[in-house]
Amino acid sequence: MLDNRLDSTTLKTRDSYVAKLKEMGIKTLRDLLTYFPRAYRDEQEFTRINEMRTDEVNVVQGRIKSILNISTRGGKVMTKAVVADETGEVPVLWFNQRHIKQLFFKGSEIVLTGKLKFERGRSMLLSPKYEKPSATLLHTGRIVPVYPEKDEITSKWLREKIHMVLPYAQYFEEYMPQWILEEAALMSLPDAIYHVHFAKDEEHLTKARERLAFDELFILQFLALKRKKLWQSEFSGEAREQEQTGLRPGVDLEAFLDSLPFKLTGAQFRVIAEIFEDFAKNYPMMRLIQGDVGAGKTVVAAAAIYAMKQAGLQSALMAPTEILARQHFKTLVRLLTPFELNVQILTGSSSTGEYEQVTRQLATGTCDLVIGTHALIQEGIQFSKLGLAVIDEQHRFGVKQRAVFKMHGSPHMLSLSATPIPRTMALTLYGDQDLSTLDELPPGRQEIVTRLVPEDKRNDAYLWISDQVAKGRQVFIICPLIEESDAIQVKAVTLEYERLRTDVFPQHRLALLHGRMKAEEKDSIMKQFAAGEVDILVSTSVVEVGIDVPNATIMMIEGADRFGLAQLHQFRGRVGRGEYQSYCFLFSDSNADAALQRLKFMVKYNSGFDLAELDLQMRGPGEIYGIKQSGIPDLKMASYTDLAMLSKVRAYAQRLVGEDHELSKYPKFREKITKIEAQAELGDAS
Ligand code: ADP
Ligand code: MG
């Protein structure tokens, strides 16, 4: 019943409203009842008219003594009323709400919520919210839910409709194991759904929100811990045996380290040691390395691949795009061929001949390391003895895609990520992986000069950029994020590109990059840029993470306030990769203090972790990474910064996974989890 489609009859509304809801992702009663308020106004306390306070919000109930519409000279309408209770009376004034006079008459009871203003020598309620008093007040005189609005779907409309269908809250089926409900003292699910909208009082609201937040985190953690358990419980005996004989902690890395043109940082040493400890355990590794751009993740992966070879095992490295795969191929051939590793590449553009050769070498075991894109996880690829799978930019792949490697004998799994995520968040999201942090950049890295450029300096900036291009440098220009739609975004970036090309930089070679282009088209433009055939790349935020163009020294970001700090930091990481001093220029048309403050942090801080932590606190996770790109779920109720809640939830999730990860004793919870897993598969990155 909860999953029935909403229609205009059930909702007593017009079809256009139903269509709009659908657009907002609200298609069923369940969706509507889980469309939670974004805030609440506490208006529980009624005030008597003679006790109202000026400049504060007052909630009063009274009887209308007079009401009339007055047309002003400008063609507007004012509605004037006088409302009285047993203690006194107060004038009320509304602008352009002619219809109020149709709803209330002399003698009607009315509840008003609004600020008392002292103007033109007397006190009056100015444009208060109004409602007819009834047993259940919705819009005033209670804890009033405030919903995220979209066009004609106003908070007020939502309040009415949600209240209308609220009795269906009782059909939400409780799925949480009974012992968790009891021990954690959680409100039941139907009650929580009810009170999160129309709470009886503060206490019920708190309990309701707590319950819904608990569930959100609990499900994420349960899924992660279950994945970890499954990963660890299965490995192929054969591969492991070989490895046990070859890989002891402290496997001899000396020759490899001696061959490097640099000395590892302390952080790189530490993380390699963590990986080698995992190798010595009797279950497969599941580890995530987080490290800022340029922290040197590749060489850490190379050390692990080298160790696999010593144990007689193969490795695979998967990257999200062809161009990144090629970059890794170049680096790893250089690092590893001196040690007689046979390194191959396999991508969508490999010829049939190449494909056949590489797959044959993988199956027979002559290939030690294969680097590639999604092509690596397609059917038909067999490994002779896969020991390690490395996934670069792991958030670009879905859980399911990563899991494909398990079919090849449960190898060790090493994920790399340049998206710094605060530890609390990482624990929730990546609870299935152990976490290593590369928190130290190799020495001698140049600092990128970051500047917040005021609008009146824009032309100077253009001139300066043009000068740099004349000297042979290359430039990224990132256009503002437009969330309304992809189509509008593409239009905006295309216009800006045309403007820059014809009016600002007619003497330079410009290229355009956006998300609506085909993958091959994007790749080819990135290649031209990397090859120096393009001077200025005008792009939306799709510009590739991890790409190395040492000659690019300027990153100019328009509408910088619309991006999260972590994302700005990622853009900034595109430059500063070569010998030349690099620059990041931030433009913003926002005057809001908060926005400017955030951008000033960009000028001040150079660590992605610091910035991510700051932004998580200032804006919450949804905003930080750009949800679509990062694969990080936005939480509706819970918070990634609530450490106490996180660890409480984690403890229960751990107990449940330990006790019964298949949920044979908890069919209802299993059903819930199965549904979520099925949805996640559909939604997985492709
Ligand atoms: P990322 O963590 O962004 O993947 P890379 O692995 O691509 O970083 O490394 C960035 C650059 O730093 C590479 O050119 C690499 O050779 C170099 N590098 C890595 N480790 C060190 C080190 N310890 N000292 C000096 N340079 C290093
Ligand atoms: Mg990298």
Residue 271 pLDDT grade (very low, low, confident, very high; cuts 50, 70, 90): very high
How confident is the model at residue 627, as a pLDDT? 42
Residue 38 pLDDT grade (very low, low, confident, very high; cuts 50, 70, 90): confident
The mean per-residue pLDDT over the stretch 221-237 comes to 79
Ligand 1: does its nearest atom lie under 6 Å from the Cβ of 298?
yes
Ligand 1: does its nearest atom lie under 6 Å from the Cβ of 300?
no
Residue 498 pLDDT grade (very low, low, confident, very high; cuts 50, 70, 90): very high
Number of Cβ within 10 Å of residue 76's Cβ equals: 11
Ligand 1: does its nearest atom lie under 6 Å from the Cβ of 323?
no
Order the strands of the 510-513 sheet from edge to edge: 449-452, 583-586, 552-557, 474-478, 536-539, 510-513
How confident is the model at residue 595, as a pLDDT? 82
Q: Which backbone phi and psi does 29 adopt, to 5 degrees?
A: -55, -40
Closest CA to 271 of 74, 460, 415: 415
How confident is the model at residue 577, as a pLDDT? 81
Ligand 1: does its nearest atom lie under 6 Å from the Cβ of 293?
yes
Is pLDDT at 135 greater than 60 in this prediction? no
SS3 225: helix
CA of 548 from ligand 2 middle (Å) equals 9
Ligand 1: does its nearest atom lie under 6 Å from the Cβ of 359?
no
Is pLDDT at 437 greater than 60 in this prediction? yes
DSSP string for 557-575: ETTGGGS-HHHHHHHHTTS
Ligand 1: does its nearest atom lie under 6 Å from the Cβ of 266?
no
The mean per-residue pLDDT over the stretch 206-212 comes to 94
Residue 349 pLDDT grade (very low, low, confident, very high; cuts 50, 70, 90): confident
How confident is the model at residue 685, as a pLDDT? 39
Closest CA to 245 of 284, 269, 272, 279: 279
Ligand 1: does its nearest atom lie under 6 Å from the Cβ of 564?
no
The mean per-residue pLDDT over the stretch 453-476 comes to 95
CA–centroid distance for 155 within its chain: 25
CA of 61 from ligand 1 middle (Å) equals 69
Is pLDDT at 241 greater than 60 in this prediction? no
Q: Pick 218 or 87 by higher pLDDT.
A: 218
Whether the Cβ atoms of residue 511 and residue 496 lie closer than 8 Å to each other: no
Amino acid at residue number 131: E
Ligand 1: does its nearest atom lie under 6 Å from the Cβ of 291?
yes
Identify which of 271, 298, 419 to mutate to test ligand 1's pocket (most ligand atoms within 8 A of the CB).
Answer: 298
Give strand ranges (E) for 54-142.
Answer: 57-71, 77-85, 88-95, 109-119, 122-126, 129-131
Residues with Cβ within 5 Å of ion ligand 2? 546
How confident is the model at residue 331, as a pLDDT? 94
Q: Pick 56 or 245 by higher pLDDT.
A: 56
Residue 245 pLDDT grade (very low, low, confident, very high; cuts 50, 70, 90): very low
Residue 249 pLDDT grade (very low, low, confident, very high; cuts 50, 70, 90): very low
CA distances from 95 to 31, 68, 116, 122, 164 (A): 35, 12, 16, 18, 29
Percent of all residues in the chain with a pLDDT value above 70, rounded to a whole number: 92
The mean per-residue pLDDT over the stretch 477-493 comes to 84
Whether the Cβ atoms of residue 422 and residue 613 lie closer than 8 Å to each other: yes
Is pLDDT at 512 greater than 50 in this prediction? yes
The mean per-residue pLDDT over the stretch 310-320 comes to 93
Is pLDDT at 684 greater than 70 in this prediction? no
* pLDDT tens, residue by residue, 176-190: 999 999 999 999 999
Rounded to whole angstroms, the Cα distance separating 385 from 532 reads 41
DSSP state for residue 479 in the 8-state scheme: P
How confident is the model at residue 546, as a pLDDT? 58
Rounded to whole angstroms, the Cα distance separating 225 from 228 reads 5
Q: Give the number of whichever ligand sits closest to the CA of residue 330.
A: 1
Is pLDDT at 403 greater than 80 in this prediction? no
Instruction: Tell me the pairing of strands 39-42 and 88-95.
Output: unpaired
Give strand ranges (E) for 567-670.
Answer: 583-586
The mean per-residue pLDDT over the stretch 584-589 comes to 94
Whether the Cβ atoms of residue 21 and residue 6 lie closer than 8 Å to each other: yes
* pLDDT tens, residue by residue, 442-453: 887 778 999 999
Q: Pick 295 or 238 by higher pLDDT.
A: 295
Ligand 1 atom 9 nearest Cα: 296
SS3 347: coil
Whether the Cβ atoms of residue 280 and residue 311 lie closer than 8 Å to each other: no
How confident is the model at residue 244, as a pLDDT? 53
Identify which of 260, 269, 288, 299 to mutate to test ligand 1's pocket (most ligand atoms within 8 A of the CB).
Answer: 299
